Amino acid sequence: MLLKVRAITETLPPLTQHEAIDPNRRSRHETRRVEVFDAVPGLFKTQWNGLIKRVVRVTRSTLIRRTKDGLWDRREEVSFYLCSAAISAEKSAGAIRSHWGVENRNHYVRDVAMQEDASRIRTNPGIFARARSFALNILRINGEENIANALWCNALDINRVFDYRLK
């Protein structure tokens, strides 16, 4: 399938394209080029005919500043996404970008603040993962933005926990 997707992006012109630049943030400068291709001609005689309408190619070019000498290293990567709807490059760029919001607001917080990766639970770890997600949801509903700080304050004063409301 990947070979067919690459062939589509290499032989057909993009229907729409969008370029976004993240300025120098945390010693990184990233440029994302999003191109949307019509998938129908390339997948005509396959099992995917009619199911996939667009192929989205995202080319990321990132400059990362080295702290030792202040020089920049370049990193390039290409990602492919398949879409069942006719979508523009700008909308697909927004959808792909917002997907990472889930990673940053949920999984990263569970990994770092709640130390989920350091957990030694081997029997039914899913139960505790759900408990962590439940606790995170309660904290977020009650307006907590800094989860690590909220957990610390709740550990010092148990009465804070009883003041939370399930809205």
Q: Which of 100, 128, 159 is the last residue of a domain?
A: 100
Choice between 131 and 102, residue whose per-residue pLDDT is larger: 131
> Is the same domain home to 9 and 53?
yes
CA angle 145/149/152 to nearest 5° reads: 140
Q: How many domains does the chain have?
A: 2
pLDDT of residue 24: 64
Average pLDDT over residues 119-144: 90
Q: Which of 51, 69, 100 is the last residue of a domain?
A: 100
Q: What is the pTM of this model?
A: 0.68
> Is the same domain home to 78 and 120?
no
Domain range enclosing 140: 113-167
> Burial letters for 37-58: b for 16+ Cβ neighbours within 10 Å, e otherwise?
bbbbebbeeeebeeebbbbbbb
> Is the same domain home to 11 and 89?
yes
pLDDT tens-digit readout, 28-79: 889 999 999 999 888 888 888 889 999 999 999 999 999 899 899 999 999 9
pLDDT tens-digit readout, 104-124: 788 888 888 888 888 888 888
Q: Which of 100, 129, 149 is the last residue of a domain?
A: 100
